[in-house]
Amino acid sequence: MLWPSPPWEQVTFWALDLETGGLDARSDPILSVGMVPIRGGGIRLGEAWSTLVRPEEARSIDPESILAHHLLPGDVREAPPLPDVLAAVDRRIREGALLVHQAALDVPFLQRAYKRSGMRWPSPPVVDTVALLLKAAKRARFLDPNAPEQEPDLNLSKARRRLGLPDYGAHDALTDAVSAAELFLVLRKLVGARTLRDLR
């Protein structure tokens, strides 16, 4: 038997993006966090929040990552420490669901950051726009078996462009969180999701 799932518009989704000093959650630091909520089916830009993060001792920034996010060690030297930032993240994601683009990357960074900071991971429901892109493509093929079979582009900017959303700058945590939130609202409709369960 399935447990009841709330209608999607009754859930608060906190869209989150991280900029990191590399791609290895075991060793690379979180450098910035951007978050924006979706409440009642709408993005609440007035509640958007972002911060830089001071890397923990001995955690260096991979020079390759600087080419993407342009954050230098001096930019984050005076930023709030990770435990302070996580406390603010935690308050938000405990409200409902966590929305990310590419959960396989962001969620491990968050989980390990919680562990290193001595905090318990709250295990929020996670909605991944990458998974929704794949679900939307599968649904489109089901509705039109004669449609050409092609995998969707999973890059955030390219996926948005294909769906008619405007281009934004990339690799800024808050901009990417807003980008993911807008993409989510389009994909929610494309997959016909009515409940939180339909989105996972």
What are the residue ranges spanned by the domains of the chain? Answer: 8-192
Phi-psi region of 36 (alpha: psi -120 to 50; beta: other; left: phi over 0): beta
**Local structure of residue 109 (DSSP, 8 states):** H
Q: Write down the pLDDT at residue 84.
A: 97
Q: Which helix (H) or strand (E) holds 111?
A: helix 103-116
- Report CA dihedral (127, 130, 194, 136) to the nearest 10 degrees: -170
146: CB partners within 8 A, 6+ apart = none
Residue 134: count other Cβ atoms within 10 Å of its Cβ: 15
Nearest Cα neighbor of 74 from 89, 94, 52 is 52
Query: Domain 8-192 carries which CATH code?
Result: 3.30.420.10
Q: Write down the pLDDT at residue 1.
A: 44
Q: Write down the pLDDT at residue 57.
A: 62
C-alpha span between 167 and 110 (Å, rounded): 27
Mean pLDDT, each 10-residue run in order, the chain (200 residues): 83 97 90 97 98 80 72 86 97 97 96 95 97 90 68 90 91 95 97 95
Q: Write down the pLDDT at residue 30.
A: 94
- CB 156, CB 179: distance < 8 Å: yes
Q: Would you call 27 helix, strand, or coil by DSSP?
A: coil
**65, two tokens:** 């990552």
**117, two tokens:** 């900071």
Q: Write down the pLDDT at residue 59.
A: 61
Q: Write down the pLDDT at residue 8.
A: 97
Strand partners, 98: 14, 126
Strand partners, 18: 33
Length of the chain in residues, anyone? 200
